[in-house]
Structure formats: C-alpha cells, structure tokens
Amino acid sequence: MQKKSYLICFIIGAILGSCTGNKSNNTNTTLSSQSEHADENPTFTFDNIKQHYTRGEDLILKMYSKNTSKIDSVIYAINDKKIGQVVGNEPFNYSLKQEKFGKQIIKAVVFSNGKREENSVNIDLFASNPPLLLSYSIVNIYPHDAKAFTQGLEFYGDNLIESTGNGVGPSGNKGKSSIRIVNPKTGQPIKKNELDDSIFGEGATVLNGKLYQLTYKNNLAYLYDINSLSVY
C-alpha cells in the first residue's frame, strides 16, 4: 500500500512538472511574439534624425521612447556594420567621413527591461560640396557612315581610326566588321579592311606605330600595318 502511495505521488509530481514546463514555453513564445510585434510598432524610435547628411557631418544618434520606458543600452549599426554601443540612452556621435555616398541604413538595437527591440531608418549621404555645373560648346560636327557599327574610334594624326562590328545598329542595318582609316571631314574611308562575317570587330588603337584590333568572343586580335592596313 505504501508503494502505491509513492507511485501516485510520483505521477502527480510528473504531471505538475509537465504543466510548469509548458507554462514556461508559453511565456517564451509570448515574449518572442511581443518582441516581433514591437518591431512592427516600435516602442523606441530615432530622436531628431535627419533625412539628408553630408560627408563632413557627424551623425548624432539617440532614441526616443514612446511610453517613457527605461532604456538599458543601445547598439548602433550602419549598413549592418556595428559602429558603437551606449549605456542608457546617451547620445552617440559617429563621423560619416568614411562612408560612401548614397542611401545608408541606420539600425538601433534597444535593450529595455529584459527585452530587445530593433528599429532602422534610411538616410541619404551627399558630398560636402555640390557638383560643379560644367558647360560645353560644339567645336565641330563630323559626318559618319550610318552603316558602320562602330566599336572603336580614335584620332590618329589628321584621320580617324575606326573599328566596326557586325550587328544591328541604330540604323537598323546589319554592319560589317572592318578596320578603317577615315577622313573625318568627309566620313569616307581612305583605307578599309573588312573581316569575315564570323568575326565581330571590337576596339582598336595604335601602339608603337602598329594598329591593334580586338574581337568579341572570337579570342582573336589583329595586328595591322598602320599605312597599308595589311595584316602582319
């Protein structure tokens, strides 16, 4: 009879322990849900942060509590890079001198009363000085062969070196891969060397008195005599 009493006590204790464990798990789930809900409707927001900053400015970060909750500490990050941590809610100064221009994502992880809450905001970082507005004037207009699918173009002396590919250009016509010496005043080739249709001509330039032409996806480069356009 005494053994049965011990057995009954053991079973009751096990049931109570199981209930206690479930209660603890439910509490953790609730806290997690509250934390996620708090992130969607944050208790803490950034205090007096601007939308636009310049590279010469310091970013002064501080949090604002909507319900006067006490802040234990805050971790700050910019573009997921930790930049500092403060105890309580002391202002945190960060120099933006080393950051790139454009949009920056500022994140704060706030610890308060045993809970953790994240909040983020976007700012725009501009140059300290506005860009200079440059003017231009048209010096000359040169005629050009509309059928030339130009890939490389540069002056060499008084003439133009032009490298063309084969494809559909703005004119809608299929071009022809070639290397040309062109009179810039007339747009007409002085000399021209056309390539096979399987070759797509790319950029060209002159080095040490020789003309080099690259190709696209053909793994070929051509070397020409600059005067005759004959291939070496």
Please report whether residue 69 resides in a domain.
yes
Please report whether residue 202 resides in a domain.
yes
pTM of the model: 0.46
Q: What is the pLDDT of residue 10?
A: 46
Q: 17 Cβ partners below 8 Å, 6+ apart?
A: none
Is 179 found in the same domain as 215? yes
Is 60 found in the same domain as 121? yes
Q: What is the pLDDT of residue 200?
A: 93
Q: What is the pLDDT of residue 225?
A: 95
Per-residue CA distances from 187 to 89, 96, 142, 166 (Å): 71, 52, 7, 19
Is 109 found in the same domain as 177? no
Is 164 found in the same domain as 216? yes
Q: What is the pLDDT of residue 171?
A: 54
**pLDDT greater than 60 at residue 20:** no
Long-range contacts of 10-19 (CB under 8 A, 24+ apart): none
Q: Could you give the 3-state DSSP secondary structure of residue 55? A: coil
Please report whether residue 136 resides in a domain.
no
Is 63 found in the same domain as 97? yes
Is 117 found in the same domain as 54? yes
**pLDDT greater than 50 at residue 48:** yes
pLDDT band with cut points at 50, 70 and 90 for residue 75: very high
How many domains does the chain contain in total? 2
What are the tens digits of pLDDT across the range 125-164?
A: 999 888 889 999 999 899 999 888 999 999 999 999 999 9
Compute the average pLDDT of residues 86-107. Answer: 94
**pLDDT greater than 90 at residue 119:** yes
Question: What domain range includes position 188?
Answer: 149-225
Is 158 found in the same domain as 117? no
For residues 113 and 69, the answer to whether their CB atoms sit within 8 Å is yes
Residue with tokens 């006067």: 68
Please report whether residue 169 resides in a domain.
yes
- Half-sphere exposure (Cβ direction) of 201: Cα atoms closer than 13 Å: 29
As a whole number of angstroms, the distance between CA 173 and CA 192 comes to 19
For residues 179 and 192, the answer to whether their CB atoms sit within 8 Å is yes
Compute the average pLDDT of residues 120-128. Answer: 94
pLDDT band with cut points at 50, 70 and 90 for residue 6: very low
* Domain stop point among 93, 126, 159: 126
Q: What is the pLDDT of residue 41?
A: 63
**pLDDT greater than 80 at residue 36:** no
Is 122 found in the same domain as 48? yes
Please report whether residue 17 resides in a domain.
no
Q: What is the pLDDT of residue 18?
A: 44
Is 191 found in the same domain as 155? yes
What are the tens digits of pLDDT across the range 162-192?
A: 999 987 555 555 789 999 999 999 999 999 9
Please report whether residue 82 resides in a domain.
yes
Is 187 found in the same domain as 121? no
Please report whether residue 140 resides in a domain.
no
What are the start-end ranges of the E strands in the chain?
44-46, 52-54, 58-61, 63-65, 73-78, 81-87, 92-95, 102-112, 115-126, 149-156, 159-165, 178-182, 189-194, 201-207, 210-215, 221-225
Alpha helix positions (H), the chain: 2-40
Is 53 found in the same domain as 117? yes
Is 101 found in the same domain as 60? yes
CATH of residue 81:
2.60.40.10
